[in-house]
């Protein structure tokens, strides 16, 4: 129901509002078609407006994903394929709120259409159109938004394997903000500086699988454990840096801590995920050591002979300390006199 004051003001307009509507829509026929599409949504019981105010974040996400899935089925049922008509339908289904497929429809598909080669389109566009592939757009980094030339993520071409190795090596190069990355997408278009034959060729877009298509499990599995532990340690560091205030609820940090720490347990308990990842890596390493080649995300191990692989800490904190390591020499110095006394 339109507000009575609004209706009165509109009726008092000094021009024909209908004509302005036609101009904005691009003609009377487009207005008719828009209203027809809007009516499909408004009269559909599946899309009735519900009160989201008392739902939790997870419940809102579930509602939105249910609506998006229904929306795609109905778009197909009605044969709506024109991008503008899809936009009208979508706007009415989600009533102007962001929805899980926003980035897929608004950035992933258009980027494929405008920047992919015909071969790349053959491989990715139809699966993406059919929502087998759901994509997001990962351009912004923690340290670089407007300043695009400063993006630090690299994609280095390896002629031996004909693969691109993507790397975000620093905190400032962490991809930040991509809508739908956390739960919905299984692929991302990642903007990175292309390096080949030792030269930087500037920013290019790369399609990177991030979840398994069949199971929607994140790739690689250990990454979730690593990132959630790192974030946990970061929150704790912030708390400690604030001294006593960090402990106080006024700082907001305890709430962040309590909300975030369960992520180390749900959607795959971190220790178990790290053990699974380690088992998989050791198995792949053994295969490579015995002369077999491995594929996919562990194909970098094929490079063992050239020793380009460097050990990296994967846990946020070192869990064991080898007291015989040279770095702990000073500790030993203090230990020896103590041992002598005992
Ligand atoms: C809701 C939301 C969703 C997003 N979704 C995505 C996504 O899906 N994928 C993705 O890649 N990114 C996404 N982004 C990131 C978005 O593209 C960046 O936030 C944007 O590019 C701005 O970068 P920044 O946040 O680093 O701000 P900055 O560029 O650091 O800007 C900070 C301030 O500095 C000023 N400033 C910067 N440069 C100049 C200049 N040259 N001259 C004068 N002033 C300047 C700006 O005006 C601003 O006030 C999203 C952002 C939001 C808020």
Distance 143 CA to ligand 1 centre (A): 10
Pocket test for ligand 1, best of 146, 183, 191 (most atoms within 8 A of CB): 146
User: In this structure, are residues 113 and 140 in contact, taking their beta carbons and an 8 Å threshold?
Assistant: no
Q: Is 268 in the pocket of ligand 1 (CB under 6 A)?
A: no
Distance 319 CA to ligand 1 centre (A): 37
Confidence at residue 310, expressed as pLDDT on a 0 to 100 scale: 59
Nearest CA to ligand 1 atom 38: 146
Beta-carbon contacts of 45 under 8 Å, excluding residues fewer than 6 positions away, are none
Pocket test for ligand 1, best of 174, 177, 203 (most atoms within 8 A of CB): 177
* CA atoms within 13 Å, Cβ hemisphere of 252: 0
Q: Is 84 a catalytic residue?
A: no
User: In this structure, are residues 193 and 154 in contact, taking their beta carbons and an 8 Å threshold?
Assistant: yes
Q: Give SS3 for 2.
A: coil
Q: Is 108 in the pocket of ligand 1 (CB under 6 A)?
A: no
Cis peptide before 220 (omega within 30 of 0): yes
Closest atom of ligand 1 to CA, residue 143 = 26
Alpha-carbon radius of gyration of the chain: 27
Element holding 331 (H helix, E strand): helix 329-341
Residue 95 backbone dihedrals phi, psi, to 5 degrees: 45, 50
How many residues does this entry show for the chain? 342
- Read off the tokens for 230: 């790192």
| pLDDT string in tens for the chain (342-residue length) | 778 999 999 889 999 989 999 999 999 999 999 999 999 999 999 888 777 788 888 888 998 999 999 999 999 999 998 888 988 999 899 887 888 999 998 899 999 999 999 999 999 999 998 889 999 999 999 999 999 999 999 999 989 888 899 999 898 999 999 999 989 999 999 999 999 999 999 999 999 999 888 888 777 788 889 889 999 999 999 999 999 999 999 999 998 998 889 889 987 899 998 999 899 889 998 998 898 988 777 877 887 766 555 555 555 455 555 656 655 555 456 556 655 654
- Residue in the block written with tokens 């936009």: 87
Task: Calculate ∠ Cα 284-224-283, nearest 5°.
Answer: 10
Confidence at residue 321, expressed as pLDDT on a 0 to 100 scale: 55
Pocket test for ligand 1, best of 110, 134, 139, 145 (most atoms within 8 A of CB): 145
Would you kindly state where each structural domain of the chain is located, as residue ranges? 18-99, 135-209, 221-306
Confidence at residue 335, expressed as pLDDT on a 0 to 100 scale: 52
Confidence at residue 233, expressed as pLDDT on a 0 to 100 scale: 93
Alpha-carbon span 228 to 206, nearest angstrom: 25
Element holding 201 (H helix, E strand): strand 199-209
Distance 152 CA to ligand 1 centre (A): 16
Task: Calculate ∠ Cα 46-178-111, nearest 5°.
Answer: 85
Confidence at residue 181, expressed as pLDDT on a 0 to 100 scale: 92
Q: Which fold has domain 18-99?
A: Butyryl-Coa Dehydrogenase, subunit A; domain 1 (1.10.540)
Q: List the one residue out of 127, 122, 99, 100 whose CA is nearest residue 213.
A: 127
Q: List the one residue out of 174, 176, 180, 185 whose CA is nearest residue 208.
A: 185
The Cβ of residue 36 has, within 10 Å, a number of other Cβ atoms equal to 12
**DSSP string for 279-306:** HHHHHHHHHHHTT----GGGGGGGGGGG
Report the chain's terminal Cα–Cα distance, integer Å.
87
Confidence at residue 207, expressed as pLDDT on a 0 to 100 scale: 96
Distance 146 CA to ligand 1 centre (A): 5
User: In this structure, are residues 158 and 165 in contact, taking their beta carbons and an 8 Å threshold?
Assistant: yes
Q: Is 177 in the pocket of ligand 1 (CB under 6 A)?
A: yes
Residue 220 CA to chain centroid, in angstroms? 13
Confidence at residue 304, expressed as pLDDT on a 0 to 100 scale: 72
Distance 159 CA to ligand 1 centre (A): 35
The catalytically annotated residue of 84, 163, 217, 267 is 267
Alpha-carbon span 231 to 224, nearest angstrom: 11
Element holding 166 (H helix, E strand): strand 163-167
Confidence at residue 341, expressed as pLDDT on a 0 to 100 scale: 54
Confidence at residue 223, expressed as pLDDT on a 0 to 100 scale: 83
Query: Regarding the domain with residue range 221-306, which homologous superfamily does it belong to in the CATH classification?
Result: Butyryl-CoA Dehydrogenase, subunit A, domain 3 (1.20.140.10)
Whether the full predicted model's pTM is greater than 0.85, yes or no, is no
Q: Which fold has domain 135-209?
A: Butyryl-CoA Dehydrogenase, subunit A; domain 2 (2.40.110)
């Amino acid at each position: 129901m339109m507000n009575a004051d609004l209706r009165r003001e509109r009726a008092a307009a000094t021009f024909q509002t209908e004509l302005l509507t036609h101009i904005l829509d691009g003609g009377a026929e487009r207005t008719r078609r828009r209203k027809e599409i809007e009516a499909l949504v408004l009269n559909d019981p599946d899309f009735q407006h519900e009160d989201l105010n008392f739902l939790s974040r997870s419940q809102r996400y579930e509602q939105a994903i249910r609506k998006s899935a229904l929306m795609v089925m109905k778009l197909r049922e009605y044969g709506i394929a024109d991008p503008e008509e899809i936009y009208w339908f979508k706007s009415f289904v989600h009533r102007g709120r962001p929805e899980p497929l926003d980035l897929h429809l608004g950035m992933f598909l258009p980027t494929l259409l405008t920047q992919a080669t015909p071969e790349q389109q053959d491989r990715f566009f139809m699966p993406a159109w059919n929502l087998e592939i759901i994509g997001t757009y990962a351009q912004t980094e923690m340290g670089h938004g407007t300043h695009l030339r400063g993006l630090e993520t690299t994609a280095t071409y390896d002629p031996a394997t004909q693969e691109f190795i993507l790397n975000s090596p620093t905190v400032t190069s962490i991809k930040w903000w991509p809508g739908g990355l956390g739960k919905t997408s299984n692929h991302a278009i990642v903007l990175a500086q292309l390096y080949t034959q030792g030269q930087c060729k500037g920013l290019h877009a790369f399609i990177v699988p991030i979840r398994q298509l069949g199971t929607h499990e994140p790739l690689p599995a250990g990454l979730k454990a690593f990132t959630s532990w790192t974030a946990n340690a970061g929150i704790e560091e912030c708390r400690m840096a604030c001294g006593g205030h960090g402990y106080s609820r006024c700082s907001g940090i305890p709430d962040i801590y309590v909300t975030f720490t369960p992520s180390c347990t749900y959607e795959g308990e971190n220790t178990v995920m790290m053990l699974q990842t380690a088992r998989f890596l050791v198995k792949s390493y053994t295969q490579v050591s015995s002369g077999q080649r491995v594929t996919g995300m562990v194909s970098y191990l094929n490079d063992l002979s050239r020793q380009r692989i460097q050990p990296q800490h994967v846990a946020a904190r070192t869990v064991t300390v080898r007291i015989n390591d040279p770095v702990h020499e000073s500790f030993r110095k203090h230990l020896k006199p103590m041992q002598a006394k005992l």
